[in-house]
Every structure is written in structure tokens, then in C-alpha cells.
Chains A and B, each alone.
Chain A
């Protein structure tokens, strides 16, 4: 039995030494470097954050972006620090940022946490809803000393959205089925950002409230939902034509669905509707155009 007690003793000592050396006390001592009034070197970990930074005049200050940051074109020229889903912490640190801005989902929140531990300033913003976009722009502006520009950007986006709202507002709602995946069929539910865009564009989701965020549905529900317009989002810009052909073939089997009978099945560039950023109104405008083409004829 002797050797077991020795093992227990050594492991306990080991743990005690560890807590003494790296315990919570030390974590509190490592303070963030003081933030300058106007932040100079910024790493952005999401394409919509990159767009916001460019729009509030911080394009030159960006020293790192993720691989999918391709708008505005100057963003694609910036050094890359990994992908949206798996940022490379070594590359982020090597960029010597004064501030790292991340989104709030697990991978990025976690990276921000790890960077904070090493001693980097990070800002985590949640952008899942349109209202959160305005909040995020405000927080980014405040954290980088660009409050005025941020407020201007917010009012620019608001004005565009109001113009769209007054254009489509009074009309009856168009019933939209938003397809995220065809096989198996999955559509956007009510509790999504896409639902919000559909409503801002003067439509309503043809699918009622569901447990799933993106509910898988069967043919029965497709027929029952009585959609007037079907919109699919294409993953890649090059695929749109191809996907339109396949979509028309697929949907032709529901020939009594109003959307199919009236040839109102559309394929939309996924990038314009998946990024909740300053170009939000463009996506909504595209959707509104599909819902009521006659409003945009002049």
C-alpha cells in the first residue's frame, strides 16, 4: 500500500505547487495595456466587422482580417489571421494588435478570452439581429475613439432602412419560403436574422413558429405553407446560374404552389444576405425587389 500513499502525496504536492505558482492571484495582476485615445492597430475576426471598421474610417488601421473578409476590396489585401471559424491565435499575436474585435459565438469569444489572458485588448460584439448591429457599431466606435463616425454610420443605415420601409410598408405582406438547403429540405424559421430581413423587405415567413431555428420540413408543409415567393441562397457567387436551374427543376414538382405557378423562385447571392453589416439594406432591397418587382420599375 505504501507506493499508493507516495503517489497521492506527490500528486497533492504537485497540485499545491501549481496553484501557488499560477493560481488566480496571478491572473489578476496581469493588467491590460492602457488603451490609447485612438486605437491604431486593429485585428478584425469577421467580415461584417471589417466592413464596419472600413465604414467608420479605420481601414488603414486594420492589421489583420479573416480569410473571408473580401469587402470592401481593400480588405482582401490585408494580412490574414485564419478563418472565421478557426482564427489562428499565433497570427493574431504576430500582427501586434492594440485591439482585437470578435463576434460573440463560442470559437471567437473563446479566442478573445485567451487573448485577454495573454494581455491583449479585445472587444466582443454580438451581431445576430438588426438591432444588435446598431449596438455593435456604437460599441466599436466607442472602443476605438471613432464615436462620431459610428453615429454617422448608424444614421446612414437607419435612413436607408426607413426609405425601404416607406416604399414597401403599406402593401400586404408577401408569403416567403426561404430555403437554406434543398436535400433534405430546410428553411429559415421565425427566430432567425433572415426572418427579420424578410419582414423588413415587406414579406412574412410562410412557415409559422417552429422549435428549430432552421426547421427541416416535408412536402406536406411545403404545400400547406402556400408560399408566394421562394428564395434560395447560393453559397458561392459562381454557382447562382447553376443553382437556379436545379432549383427550378426541383420546385417544378410543387406546381400548384403559387410561387412555382407564377415563376417566382429566386436564387440570391448568399453573401449579400448572410452578413449582418453596413450593407444590410442592399440585401433587404434585393429581397424587396423579388417580392414586389413593380415597386422598383422606375
Chain B
């Protein structure tokens, strides 16, 4: 029998997870192609005539990239939790309803059209990917609504078909593109982490952390929804409202994450399952712990991507799958008896 979740226990677990995250960030920030001494970093930026390279590399390049990886990991993991419960499908991940192909299509259109402007220091690729992601989710949601009030199968099928359709458009555009454009797109599709501008990081942090807190608010309702819409309704949960809020926020933070870092697979599928296997299915702790675990996981994966073949880099999506896959299988075998949906 599972133990009851008290707020004291929850706070203790979250604090412990945050401490692990801080330790991981500290260790990963010490690793990189260039050796950076902490003492030199603390000496400050230096003057324009004699800039401090250690400070520049650490503060302007490495730390922003690690923070970005953490934010993206947290967003994808929490969105994965929400899509899994909303669709009542263990195979669901943040990309299942077409976000990936919509964002990918936006990105490749931006690459091929060769725009040269920037918006708040972000390239047109990020802007188009964000627009494509949100547009696709809206389209899938709209089609899903036409099939019934919130018909899970209708929504899933709409997502799969829209995904396939946009993927076909993407493949067509890739086939007519120049080779350097094709490569640019492929790297984007495999997940392309780079350091962000401070303003972009700040705004993304606001959106993503705010979104996760909002999802945490509706945790009890999500718990009820995991028994099915009818049961949740009879427990007094406003099903339509909960679903709309959860769906909108999860899609929103996924779109932010995708526009910042390209398509990073696996985090949104595996981290929620892993956390659920180890800590149980209560969304009040599943959401914060998944978010923090997702951040830890992606920070580690991105550090590996930076250093394994240095000075070249691996696409971070490759690392998440290679590291995460076996790890998840171990968890699956070890903890599967605890969790009811596997029986």
C-alpha cells in the first residue's frame, strides 16, 4: 500500500531533488572543452582592453546553455506527464499531438526562405518553430473537438494524421533544399542546444516555471482524471475546464521548449514514466519531481553532448535516447510491480 502524501513529505522530496539538481549543475558547469578556473570567473568580466576569457566562457556561454537545458528538460518532462494522463495513454509524449512536425515545418520554412532578421535575439527559426508548434496544436485540438467533446481517440488520430501530413511536407521541402539547408534542418530536428541570450532565458524561465506551477495547482484534478472522465466527473471535477487548462499549458511550455532547442526526444516520454515508477502516480508530486528530474537528465545529456566528441558536438537528442533508453529499461524491470497500469 502506498504511503499517504503529506505536504511535509512533498516539500522534503522536492527540496532533495532541487539539491541534486544544483549539484549536477555545479559539476556540469565545471566540465567543457575549455578549462575554466572558478577563481578567474569570480574576478569579473575584465575591461574591454583586457577581457577575462574564463568569465566570458563561463557566464556568457556555458552557464546560459546549462540553464537552457534545465528549463527545456523540465518543460518537456512536465508536458509529458500531462499528455500521458490527458490521453490516458502511456505512449503519449509532448510531441504526440503534432507539435514536433508543426515546429519542424516552421523551422524548415524559416531555413529555406533564408530570413535574416532576429526577434529579441532569436533567429527566425525559433520564431517560426514556436508559431508552427502552437498552430499545429490548435489545429489538432480543433479537429479533436469536432469529433466529440473531448474524444481521446479522435484527438489522438487527428494528432497522428496531422503529424504524418506535416512530416510529408517537411520531407518534400527537405528534398528540394540546398544541402547546407538540409543539414541545418537535420541538426535542428535532432535537438540543437546552444547558449541563449539572457533576456530569452529569463522570459523562457518565467513561462516554463509559471506553467509548471499552474499544472501543479490542478494536480488533484489530474489525479481524478487518471481514473477516466466519467469517474472524475462523478468526483466533482470540472472535466472540460481541467482538460482545457492542462492541455493549453502543456502545449504552451512544449512550444517554448521546442522553439529554444529543436526537437529533443525521449525526455518527455521516459522521465515521467521513470518518476512514476519510482515515486508513484500522484500528480501533486509527479509534476514537480518530473520537472526537476527532466532538468537533471537533460543537463547531464547536454554536457555529454558537449564533451564526448569535443571540440565537435553530438546532437543532444541522440544522447538522451542512448543514455535514457537503457536506464529506463532497468527502472521498468525493477519497479514495474509497484505500478498498476502495467498489469
Interface residues of A (CB under 8 A from B): 3-4, 7, 10-11, 14-15, 17-19, 21-24, 27, 33, 67, 80-83, 85-86, 88-91, 93-94, 96, 103, 105-107, 110, 113-114, 117-119, 128, 192, 211-214, 216
What 1/0 flags go to B46-77 for Cβ under 8 Å of A? 00100101001100111000000000000000
Whether B202 contacts A22 by the Cβ 8 Å rule is yes
- Determine whether the beta carbon of B195 is less than 8 Å from that of A114: yes
B187 touches A85 (CB 8 A): yes
Kindly list the 6 A-B residue pairs having the minimum CB-CB distance in the complex, ordered from nearest: A18-B202, A106-B184, A22-B199, A105-B180, A11-B210, A88-B311
**Subset of 27 A-B contacts with CB under 8 Å:** A3-B217, A7-B213, A11-B207, A14-B210, A15-B203, A19-B199, A21-B198, A22-B199, A83-B312, A85-B183, A85-B187, A88-B33, A89-B61, A90-B32, A90-B62, A91-B33, A93-B34, A93-B61, A105-B181, A106-B180, A107-B183, A119-B51, A128-B178, A212-B175, A213-B177, A214-B179, A216-B175
Q: Closest CB-CB distance, A120 to chain B, in whole Å?
A: 9
Q: Is the CB of A113 within 8 A of B123?
A: yes
> Are A110 and B123 in contact (CB-based, < 8 A)?
yes
Bound Cα distance from A273 to B194, whole angstroms = 32
Q: Is the CB of B313 within 8 A of A114?
A: no
B214 at the interface (CB under 8 A from A): yes
| Residue B206 is within 8 A (CB to CB) of chain A in the complex | yes
Interface residues on B, range: 35 or more
Chain A residues with CB below 8 A from B197, complex form: 22, 117
Q: B1 at interface (Cβ–Cβ under 8 A)?
A: no
Q: Within 8 Å CB of B176, what residues of A?
A: 211-213
Alpha-carbon gap, A113 to B61, bound state (A): 13
The docked-state distance in angstroms from the alpha carbon of A82 to that of B111 is 22
Q: B310: CB under 8 A from chain A?
A: yes
Taken together as a complex, chains A and B put the C-alpha atoms of A85 and B123 apart, in Å, by: 17
Since A90-B34, A113-B123 are in contact, a sample of 17 more A-B pairs with Cβ atoms closer than 8 Å, ordered by chain A residue number, is A7-B213, A7-B217, A11-B206, A15-B206, A18-B203, A23-B199, A86-B187, A86-B312, A88-B311, A89-B61, A93-B34, A94-B57, A105-B184, A118-B61, A119-B51, A211-B176, A213-B177
Cβ-neighbour of A91 out of B34, B181, B206 (below 8 A): B34
Question: Is B299 in the interface zone, CB < 8 Å from A?
Answer: no
> Chain A residues with Cβ under 8 A from B199's Cβ?
18-19, 22-23
Q: A82-B312, A213-B177 are in contact. Are A22 and B187 (CB under 8 A)?
A: no
Establish whether residues B184 and A93, one from each chain, have CB atoms under 8 Å apart when the complex forms: no
> Quick check: is B260 within 8 A (CB to CB) of the other chain?
no
Minimal beta-carbon separation of B129 from chain A (angstroms): 13
Q: Which chain A residue has the least Cβ–Cβ distance from B213? A: A7
Contact A118 B177 (CB under 8 A): no
Q: Is the interface of A mostly helix, strand, loop or mixed?
A: helix
Q: Which residues of A contact B57 (CB under 8 A)?
A: 90, 93-94
Alpha-carbon gap, A3 to B176, bound state (A): 51
A221 → chain B closest CB, angstroms: 16
**A93 to B195, Cβ gap below 8 A?**
no
| Contact pattern, B 12-48, Cβ under 8 Å of A = 1, otherwise 0 | 0000000000000000000011100000000000001
B202 — which chain A residues lie within 8 A by C-beta?
14-15, 17-18, 21-22
The answer on a CB contact under 8 Å between B311 and A82 is yes
In the complex, are the beta carbons of A106 and B61 less than 8 A apart? no
When distances are taken between beta carbons in the complex, the residues of chain A under 8 Å from B206 are 11, 14-15, 18
Closest beta carbon of chain B to A218's beta carbon, Å: 14
**What distance in Å separates the Cβ of A173 from its nearest Cβ neighbour in chain B?**
25
A255 to chain B, nearest CB (A): 30
Indicate if B118 sits at the interface (CB-CB under 8 A).
yes
Cα distance A167–B307 in the bound complex, in angstroms: 51
Give chain B residues whose Cβ lies under 8 Å from the Cβ of A90: 32-34, 57, 61-62
Query: Which of the residues B34, B179, B198, B312 comes within 8 Å of A22, measured between beta carbons?
Result: B198
Task: Choose one: B118, B120, B213, B217; the contact of A113 (CB below 8 Å).
Answer: B118
Q: What is the distance, in angstroms, from B113's C-beta to the closest C-beta of chain A?
A: 11
Tell me, rounded to whole Å, the shortest Cβ–Cβ distance linking A84 to chain B: 9
Determine whether B121 belongs to the interface, using a CB cutoff of 8 Å to chain A.
yes
Task: Confirm or deny: B125 has a beta carbon within 8 angstroms of a beta carbon on chain A.
Answer: yes
Say whether A106 contacts B210, CB under 8 Å: no
A10 to B205, CA, bound (A): 12
Tell me whether A27 and B181 are in contact in the complex, defined as CB-CB below 8 angstroms, given that A90-B32, A118-B61 are known contacts: no
Would A106 and B181 count as touching, CB distance under 8 A? yes
Contact check: which of B62, B217, B313 meets A86 at CB < 8 Å?
B313
Docked complex Cα distance between A10 and B181 (Å): 41
Contacts of B48 in A (CB 8 A): 33, 119
Which residues on the B side are within 8 Å of A105 (C-beta)? 180-181, 183-184
Q: A105-B184, A214-B179 are in contact. Are A80 and B311 (CB under 8 A)?
A: yes
Contact digits for B307-325, partner A, Cβ 8 Å, 1 yes 0 no: 0001111000000000000
Task: Report A-chain residues with C-beta under 8 Å of the C-beta of B177.
Answer: 213
Q: Provide the residues of chain B in CB contact with A67, threshold 8 Å.
A: 311-312
